[in-house]
Amino acid sequence: MTLSRYLPILTWGRAYDRSAFGGDLIAALIVTVMLIPQSLAYALLAGLPPEAGLYASIAPIILYAFFGTSGALAVGPVAVVSLMTAAALGKIAEQGTMGYGVAALTLAGLSGVILLVMGVFRVGFLANFLSHPVISGFITASGIIIAASQLKHILGIDAQGHDLLELGLSLAEHLTETNPVTAVIGVFAVGFLFWVRKGLGPLLRRLGLGAGLADILVKTGPVMVVAGTTYAVWALSLTDRGVDVVGAVPRSLPPLTLPSVSPDLIGQLLLPALLISVIGFVESISVAQTLAAKTRQRIDPDQELIGLGAANVGAAFTGGFPVTGGFSRSVVNFDAGARTPAAGAFTAVGLAITALALTPLIFFLPKATLAATIIVAVLSLVDLSVLKRSWFYSKADFAAVLTTILATLALGVEVGVSAGVGLSILLHLYRSSKPHIAEVGQIPGTEHFRNVLRHDVITDPTVLTLRVDESLYFANARFLEDRIQNRVAGDPNIRHVILQCSAINEIDMSALESLEAINERLREMDVKLHLSEVKGPVMDRLEKQAFLHELTGEIFLSQYDAVRKTRLSHGGVGSGPPR
């Protein structure tokens, strides 16, 4: 049982049959065709030789098939993680050097170990601190940086930089060196791919193709443009005109490689590896959950961490770089019929054949074409509407999105995502440190109590009832102290304070001590403190505490009881005007 928890393949493998095999095989064929240009392109984005992209898609996919729980997730290099890889490695070594490649392996290895540790210790919840607005903002900003970083390939010039400013300045400096033939290929490829996305699907459907087949043809757009431009470069000898091509790629299965264990290098890569792990995991789990829902499958987030961790460790030992579950390829995989992780394993076989036999075919593939496929893919990730949506929903979320976008664009991916996470935690703490506290009164003829500011309610000038709409903990305990003290000190009629605790899910020790202080201070003012509607788990904890003995008032099951009995206790049944 434990073994099959850590090796989900033992569970789904036992039920594997011919029908699942058929679906998985067809899906694998389609995904392989889609992955070839994608792997090459993302290797380029990460600053690595093209074959690294193929290698990063073979062993990791197979390892995920053993350890992962999603039947449709397609693991491999993805845009945002490749950008983060380039940003992390750029600080350590020059692109094209041995050191750069070893650092990429080490980054994948570290990221794998971090994911495995998180999975084994079941601390995947840490990834939750990346809020949705921060992720949206981060992905949008990353998409813009990635697209900008590919312009140099489109124009055939040199340019460096890991944030928008650096990139922009560098591009401007070299703009005059633009290679016209490369630029024609690049602009054509971008235009063609956009047309495939927007125009080809409707056209094919008008021509009478089924929607499913039309969709699959649209998805092969990158393959078409890769084949077309490669042929053009070869046929017209455009390399003589300065068009940069992929060139000789070794015909080989993934090599056995070793990441570095230098403490210096590991120290420098630890934070980037952590960020890459968390961002990769969050992206991956969200795709996996979405697809699993369509077939009522279960996804175990902690086991997903182990699956992705194993995949990254695999990448580290087979010449790859950090990988995760990709959105578009997983959707294609699922739509094409993949139902088990075996589809991934078949894809790996397809890519292995490619690496072994087909690499001579991509000798003349222009880098501008790969850049075009990246630009078109990432621009679909750019979604500035999140700014508008968050502005109208909550200013705190808006602040988090805006900070993340601006910090990522201006200061790079690591600062950007860290700033976003830090700010959203601070804003959350700020909000919960000033909880909504309503003064409530009775709705005439009912046992319901509502906010005196929103409803016509009956109140008693000698009884103050406050409902705190938040758990009480250290950050807001003193706020409640101040609020009660100032309210009671300003109104000499008050003889009873009732805290309606219906929305209080927890009282920590700071809050308990604040309640003790409130009780003591109210006693000094000759006012009794009562509690009403205390929840079971909260009461369980309070029961062992001295506070309950020192409490000047009582604990009532319902707010109605509380008001009725406190009125009786001082004789008056005064019903003040609604305030």
Residue list 213-252, contact with a copy of itself (CB under 8 A): none
φ, ψ (nearest 5 deg) of residue 15: -95, 10
Residue closer to a copy of itself by CB (options 125, 231) is 125
Single out the segment in contact with a copy of itself by CB under 8 A; choices: 188-196, 254-262, 372-380, 534-542: 534-542
Residue closer to a copy of itself by CB (options 42, 556) is 556
Environment class of residue 564 by beta-carbon count within 10 Å: exposed (0-12), middle (13-18) or buried (19+)? middle
Least gap, CB of 325 to a copy of itself (angstroms): 15
Q: Does 485 bind a copy of itself (CB under 8 A)?
A: yes
Is 451:440 a contact under the CB 8 Å cutoff?
yes
Residue closer to a copy of itself by CB (options 168, 422) is 422
Q: Does 138 bind a copy of itself (CB under 8 A)?
A: no
Residue closer to a copy of itself by CB (options 145, 438) is 438
Least gap, CB of 445 to a copy of itself (angstroms): 18
Least gap, CB of 435 to a copy of itself (angstroms): 8
Q: Does 490 bind a copy of itself (CB under 8 A)?
A: yes
Q: Contacts with a copy of itself in 390-429 (CB under 8 A)?
A: 390, 392-394, 396-397, 424-425, 428-429
**C-alpha to C-alpha distance for 336 and 91, rounded to whole angstroms:** 40
**C-alpha to C-alpha distance for 76 and 325, rounded to whole angstroms:** 6
Least gap, CB of 6 to a copy of itself (angstroms): 18
Least gap, CB of 416 to a copy of itself (angstroms): 17
Least gap, CB of 514 to a copy of itself (angstroms): 7
Least gap, CB of 425 to a copy of itself (angstroms): 7
Single out the segment in contact with a copy of itself by CB under 8 A; choices: 91-99, 409-417, 469-477, 550-558: 469-477
**Closest by Cα among 255, 238, 103, 246 to 183:** 238
Least gap, CB of 478 to a copy of itself (angstroms): 5
Single out the segment in contact with a copy of itself by CB under 8 A; choices: 252-260, 409-417, 482-490, 564-572: 482-490
Least gap, CB of 489 to a copy of itself (angstroms): 5
Q: Does 524 bind a copy of itself (CB under 8 A)?
A: yes
Least gap, CB of 387 to a copy of itself (angstroms): 12
Is 21:337 a contact under the CB 8 Å cutoff?
no
Q: Does 285 bind a copy of itself (CB under 8 A)?
A: yes
**C-alpha to C-alpha distance for 167 and 145, rounded to whole angstroms:** 8
Residue closer to a copy of itself by CB (options 146, 288) is 288
Single out the segment in contact with a copy of itself by CB under 8 A; choices: 104-112, 244-252, 269-277, 296-304: 296-304
**Closest by Cα among 432, 428, 499 to 463:** 499
Single out the segment in contact with a copy of itself by CB under 8 A; choices: 174-182, 329-337, 497-505, 565-573: 497-505
How far is C-alpha 261 from the geometric centre of its chain's CA atoms?
A: 29
Is 203:261 a contact under the CB 8 Å cutoff?
no
Q: Does 503 bind a copy of itself (CB under 8 A)?
A: yes
Q: List the structure tokens of 462.
A: 């000698």
Q: Contacts with a copy of itself in 72-131 (CB under 8 A)?
A: 125, 127-131
Task: Please pick, from the candidates 509, 548, 557, 568, the single residue that binds a copy of itself as defined by CB under 8 A.
Answer: 509
Task: Please pick, from the candidates 178, 239, 290, 575, the single residue that binds a copy of itself as defined by CB under 8 A.
Answer: 290
Q: Does 389 bind a copy of itself (CB under 8 A)?
A: yes
- Sign of the torsion angle spanned by Cα atoms 426, 432, 433, 436: positive
Residue closer to a copy of itself by CB (options 98, 546) is 546
**Closest by Cα among 153, 225, 161, 206 to 183:** 153
Least gap, CB of 382 to a copy of itself (angstroms): 18
Task: Please pick, from the candidates 489, 548, 557, 568, the single residue that binds a copy of itself as defined by CB under 8 A.
Answer: 489
Q: Does 197 bind a copy of itself (CB under 8 A)?
A: no
Task: Please pick, from the candidates 478, 564, 567, 570, the single residue that binds a copy of itself as defined by CB under 8 A.
Answer: 478
Quickly tell me which residue has 């139902």 as its tokens: 339
How far is C-alpha 282 from the geometric centre of its chain's CA atoms?
A: 4
Query: In sequence order, what E strands does 462-578 have?
Result: 463-468, 496-500, 528-532, 555-556
Q: Which amino acid is at 462?
A: T
Q: Does 533 bind a copy of itself (CB under 8 A)?
A: no
Query: In sequence order, what E strands does 436-533 have?
Result: 437-442, 449-451, 463-468, 496-500, 528-532
**Closest by Cα among 95, 373, 368 to 243:** 368
Length of the chain: 579
- CA dihedral (223, 59, 280, 35) in degrees, to 10, reads 0
Task: Please pick, from the candidates 235, 298, 549, 571, the single residue that binds a copy of itself as defined by CB under 8 A.
Answer: 298
Q: Determine the size of the site formed for a copy of itself (CB under 8 A).
A: 81
Furthest C-alpha separation in the chain = 103
φ, ψ (nearest 5 deg) of residue 472: -95, 125
**C-alpha to C-alpha distance for 165 and 480, rounded to whole angstroms:** 47
Q: Contacts with a copy of itself in 430-449 (CB under 8 A)?
A: 430-436
Residue closer to a copy of itself by CB (options 237, 295) is 295
Residue closer to a copy of itself by CB (options 124, 309) is 124
Radius of gyration of the chain (CA): 31
**C-alpha to C-alpha distance for 370 and 355, rounded to whole angstroms:** 17
**C-alpha to C-alpha distance for 339 and 73, rounded to whole angstroms:** 10
Q: Contacts with a copy of itself in 543-572 (CB under 8 A)?
A: 544-545
* Exposure letters 364-388 (e unless 16+ CB within 10 A, then b): bbbbbbbbbbbbbbbbebeeeebbe
Least gap, CB of 420 to a copy of itself (angstroms): 11
Is 336:26 a contact under the CB 8 Å cutoff?
yes
